[in-house]
């Protein structure tokens, strides 16, 4: 089956963008479509296509797809548009069986090892996350959101709804609406190293008890962790570094490197097996994360959502129950 992932990106690429591109190259059964105004001054992998477009041009392109005035004042708001890419960019995905969206604050491993063809044959929506999801490319799945009123609220409000990742709640998210309409959904967060940004050490959200280091080795991503005093190594689908500023100390085309908080560095086998090296990056840094600031930001976001919600009383009840 042919698959394509869509990534509109505006603003400066992160310092490890070329490492991300290199990890895409190791997934030959998937194509990527990047829409950006940035100049990519490196040879593109054969499975990545770039469309040069300014943010204002993209905004106009998306606006023509909807009869009401959309709210897209900042590139970050594109997070709420991900679920509609199958409808918005339909002219670019006609030849594909699946389309999807992803982020570039991550490093891919071997995706097909964890999502083989049998998964794509059986399911219509694969994975819940906004950093990687696949959707069956049919007119029905791509326009299913029109059956629900949520998209009008999401696309006219300036606040981020997280519609691409939510699955239940006061409003069904993208996956929730597809499930409600009878489509088949697959998710397995245990295969993903989704790193919690609230801690300095690498703690995975689905398994936050222990700390981790990671390696990229010829197209595969590995998690290094301690269990019963021993360092173990496990392959994962990809590593997601959300909201982390990472320092890149390696070349963009390198095929083997180690990842520790908060840096990409040359691969060193002695580091991987060294418990002291592991322990040095397993200690929390005092003041690394401001919980109060994050809490206030969440409250502000929820209040803004309620202000743009037609059924304000019901939204309040759900928020504070």
Q: In Å, how far are 64, 132, 146, 156 from 67, measured between CA atoms?
A: 7, 29, 12, 11
Model confidence at 35, in pLDDT bands (50, 70, 90)? Answer: very high
Contact 289, 58 (CB under 8 A): no
Q: Report DSSP state, residue 232.
A: E
Q: Please give the pLDDT value at position 88.
A: 98
CA atoms within 13 A on the CB side of 115: 32
How do residues 90-102 score in pLDDT, each as one tens digit? 999 999 999 999 9
Average pLDDT over residues 149-153: 90
Model confidence at 319, in pLDDT bands (50, 70, 90)? Answer: low
Query: Considering the chain, what is the average pLDDT of its residues?
Result: 92
Q: Please give the pLDDT value at position 313.
A: 61
Give the CA angle between residues 56, 60, 65 to the nearest 5°.
Answer: 150
Helix, strand, or coil here: 185?
A: strand
Q: Please give the pLDDT value at position 209.
A: 72
Question: Of 66-80, 180-194, 289-303, which range is least confident?
Answer: 289-303
Model confidence at 39, in pLDDT bands (50, 70, 90)? Answer: very high
- Residue 76 clears pLDDT 90, i.e. is over it: yes
Please write down the long-range contacts of 12-16, taking CB distance under 8 Å and 24 or more positions apart. 12/38, 13/38, 13/104, 14/104, 14/105, 14/246, 15/246, 15/247, 15/248, 16/107, 16/246, 16/248, 16/264
Phi and psi at 17, nearest 5°, equal -60, -40
Q: What percent of the chain has pLDDT over 90?
A: 74
Encoding tokens for residue 37? 């105004």
Distance CA(61)–CA(305), nearest Å, equals 26
- Residue 169 clears pLDDT 80, i.e. is over it: no
Distance CA(65)–CA(90), nearest Å, equals 11
Distance CA(107)–CA(248), nearest Å, equals 13
Q: Please give the pLDDT value at position 317.
A: 58
Average pLDDT over residues 8-21: 96
How do residues 112-140 score in pLDDT, each as one tens digit? 999 999 999 999 999 999 999 999 999 99
| Residue 73 φ/ψ region, left for φ over 0, alpha for ψ in the -120 to 50 degree band, beta for the rest | alpha
Contact 84, 145 (CB under 8 A): yes
SS3 content of the chain, % helix, strand, coil (to 5): 35, 25, 40
- Residue 299 clears pLDDT 90, i.e. is over it: no
């Amino acid at each position: 089956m042919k698959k394509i992932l869509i990534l509109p990106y505006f603003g400066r690429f992160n310092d490890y963008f070329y490492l991300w591109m290199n990890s895409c190259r190791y997934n030959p059964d998937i194509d990527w479509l990047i829409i950006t105004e940035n100049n990519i001054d490196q040879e593109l992998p054969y499975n990545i296509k770039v469309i040069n477009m300014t943010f204002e041009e993209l905004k106009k392109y998306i606006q023509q797809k909807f009869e009401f005035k959309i709210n897209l004042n900042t590139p970050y708001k594109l997070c709420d548009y991900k679920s509609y890419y199958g409808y918005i960019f339909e002219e670019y995905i006609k030849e594909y069986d699946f389309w999807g969206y992803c982020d570039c604050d991550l490093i891919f491993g071997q995706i097909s090892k964890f999502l083989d063809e049998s998964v794509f044959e059986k399911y219509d929506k694969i994975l819940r996350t906004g950093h990687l999801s696949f959707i069956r490319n049919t007119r029905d799945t791509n326009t299913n959101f029109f059956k629900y009123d949520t998209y009008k609220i999401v696309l006219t409000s300036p606040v981020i709804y997280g519609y691409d990742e939510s699955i239940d709640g006061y409003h069904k998210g993208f996956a929730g609406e597809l499930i409600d309409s009878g489509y088949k959904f697959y998710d397995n967060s245990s295969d993903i190293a989704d790193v919690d940004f609230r801690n300095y050490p690498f703690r995975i959200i689905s398994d936050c008890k222990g700390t981790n280091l990671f390696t990229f080795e010829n197209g595969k991503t590995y998690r290094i962790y301690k269990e019963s005093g021993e360092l173990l190594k496990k392959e994962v689908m990809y590593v997601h570094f959300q909201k982390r500023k990472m320092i890149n100390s390696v070349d963009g085309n390198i095929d083997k490197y180690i990842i520790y908080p908060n840096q990409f560095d040359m691969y060193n086998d002695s580091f991987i097996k060294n418990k002291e090296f592991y322990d040095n990056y397993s200690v929390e840094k005092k003041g690394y994360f401001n919980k109060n600031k994050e809490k206030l930001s969440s409250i502000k976001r929820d209040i803004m959502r309620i202000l743009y919600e037609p059924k304000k009383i019901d939204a309040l009840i759900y928020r504070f129950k």
